């Protein structure tokens, strides 16, 4: 979710949205536009790309108006502005016009850093919009989406939604909106399953769950379906690694209540219960074998092999066999 600076008034002269998560960048813009239109329904909104903001354009857009109209000027991909236009923007930051809100969308990083630093130095309100590459970040995003609607969703439901939809925040936000609109009461894992069962079968985490449970045929079926629907192989190796590591962590942990183990291992309590069920056939040697298989698959899908699909299939089979190593 987007993180904001201490000054949270969207109508300050300059808002700086930094990051590469398109949904969060769009929401940062929408928040400013909504606030401006609430203050003045006739607010003029100009949404510009770097190509549209030429030298002199900003001065023209922010020049005094006879009608003193409120205006929002949005500049997307500000890191790509030409050097001359950057000079214009920096000059404007020193003396922003009244009744005008400038919104700069910047990807962050080294490119265009001078403009980024200038906006911060000028006291711009900053909204962080980082790309959410970690499953934990996307899970936190889903939880926040439900909280924002005033609705309750169980931890299992939030996790199932992330597992089913994947990494696209727009789709996750849309799924939350659909569930909130269609379902009364608390949203649980069964509800998510009814709505997104087809997507869940294509999930990288479904592949991992079936593999660490020793269900090789189901894991391979889920893997082939995932790949056919466009799931990136690196996401599947990541899910396999997380699944095997969770087995290893819990098998070496001291016994105790799920809440205590959750604090010790950094897992939610519901996941402790799930991993406990999955680890019944595992041995320490099996975990070691599975981790090596994941490492080989990871190298294979990142250019170390000729056939990423074969590398994943091989890893899934080895992991599933390792899951049934106890008692052999």
Task: Report the pLDDT value the prediction gives residue 53, as an integer from 0 to 100.
Answer: 93
C-alpha to C-alpha distances, 216 to 167, 228, 297, 321, nearest whole angstrom? 25, 18, 16, 8
pLDDT bucket at 201, cuts 50 / 70 / 90: very low
What is the C-alpha to C-alpha distance for residues 51 and 175, in angstroms, rounded to an integer?
Answer: 34
* CATH architecture for the domain at 135-196: Orthogonal Bundle (1.10)
Measured between alpha carbons, how far is residue 32 from residues 4, 43, 76, 169 in Å? 13, 11, 14, 20
- Residue 68's pLDDT is 63
Helix (H), strand (E) at residue 17: strand 14-19
Share above pLDDT 70 across residues of the chain, in percent, rounded to a whole number: 88
Percent of the chain with pLDDT over 90: 53
CATH topology of domain 14-129: Rossmann fold (3.40.50)
What is the mean predicted confidence (pLDDT) over 96-100?
Answer: 89
Tokens of 295: 């490492």
CA 221-225-229 angle, 5° bins: 170
Q: What's the CATH class of domain 204-323?
A: mainly alpha
pLDDT for 4-49, tens place per residue? 554 578 999 999 999 999 899 999 999 999 999 999 999 999 999 9
Q: Is 189's pLDDT higher than 70?
A: yes
Helix residue ranges per DSSP H, 5-64: 22-39, 57-61
Q: Is this prediction's pTM over 0.75?
A: no
What local confidence, expressed as pLDDT, does residue 278 receive?
87
**How many angstroms separate the CA atoms of 242 and 291, rounded?**
10
Residues in the chain, overall count? 328
pLDDT bracket for residue 134 (50, 70, 90): confident
Q: Is the pLDDT of residue 275 over 90?
A: no
pLDDT for the residue numbered 27? 93
What is the reported pLDDT for 58?
A: 94
Count Cβ atoms below 10 Å from residue 144 Cβ, excluding itself: 14
Q: Is residue 271 over pLDDT 90?
A: no
Note the pLDDT of residue 148. 94
pLDDT range class, residue 118, cuts 50, 70, 90: very high
Spatial distance between the Cα atoms of 199 and 236, rounded to a whole number of angstroms? 15
Quickly state the pLDDT bin for 327 (edges 50, 70, 90): low
Report how far apart, in Å, the C-alpha atoms of 201 and of each of 163, 219, 271, 288, 311 are. 9, 10, 19, 27, 20
- The domain spans of the chain are 14-129, 135-196, 204-323
pLDDT of residue 70 exceeding 50, the answer is: yes
* DSSP bridge pairs for 103: 15, 74
Q: What is the pLDDT of residue 30?
A: 92
Q: What is residue 200's predicted lDDT score, i.e. its pLDDT? A: 46
Residue 212 has pLDDT above 80, yes or no: yes
Please name which of 199, 210, 208, 143 lies closest in space to residue 166, comparing C-alpha atoms: 199
């Amino acid at each position: 979710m987007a993180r904001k600076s201490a000054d949270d008034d969207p109508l300050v002269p300059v808002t700086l949205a930094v990051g590469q998560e398109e949904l969060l960048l769009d929401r940062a813009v929408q928040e400013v536009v909504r606030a401006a239109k609430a203050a003045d329904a006739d607010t003029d909104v100009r949404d510009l790309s770097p190509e549209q903001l030429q030298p002199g354009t900003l001065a023209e857009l922010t020049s005094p108006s006879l009608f003193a109209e409120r205006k929002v000027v949005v500049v997307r991909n500000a890191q790509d502005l030409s050097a001359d236009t950057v000079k214009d923007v920096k000059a404007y930051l020193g003396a922003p016009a009244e009744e005008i809100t400038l919104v700069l969308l910047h990807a962050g990083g080294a490119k265009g850093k001078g403009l980024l630093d200038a906006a911060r130095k000028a006291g711009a309100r900053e909204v962080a919009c980082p790309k959410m590459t970690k499953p934990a970040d996307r899970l936190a995003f889903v939880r926040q989406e439900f909280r924002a609607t005033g609705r309750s969703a169980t931890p299992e439901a939030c996790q199932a939604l992330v597992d089913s939809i994947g990494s696209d925040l727009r789709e996750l936000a849309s799924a939350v909106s659909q569930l909130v609109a269609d379902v009364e009461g608390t949203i649980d894992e069964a509800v998510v399953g009814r709505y997104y069962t087809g997507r869940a079968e294509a999930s990288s985490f479904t592949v991992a769950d079936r593999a660490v449970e020793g269900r090789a045929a189901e894991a391979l079926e889920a893997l082939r379906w995932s790949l056919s629907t466009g799931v990136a192989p690196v996401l599947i190796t990541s899910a396999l690694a997380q699944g095997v590591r969770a087995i290893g962590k819990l098998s070496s942990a001291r016994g105790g209540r799920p809440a205590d183990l959750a604090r010790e291992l950094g897992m939610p309590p519901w996941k402790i219960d799930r991993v406990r069920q999955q680890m019944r056939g595992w041995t320490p040697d099996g975990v070691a074998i599975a981790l090596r298989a994941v490492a080989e698959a990871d190298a294979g899908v990142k250019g170390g092999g000729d056939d990423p699909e074969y590398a994943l299939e091989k890893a899934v089979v080895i992991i599933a066999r390792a899951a049934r190593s106890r008692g052999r």
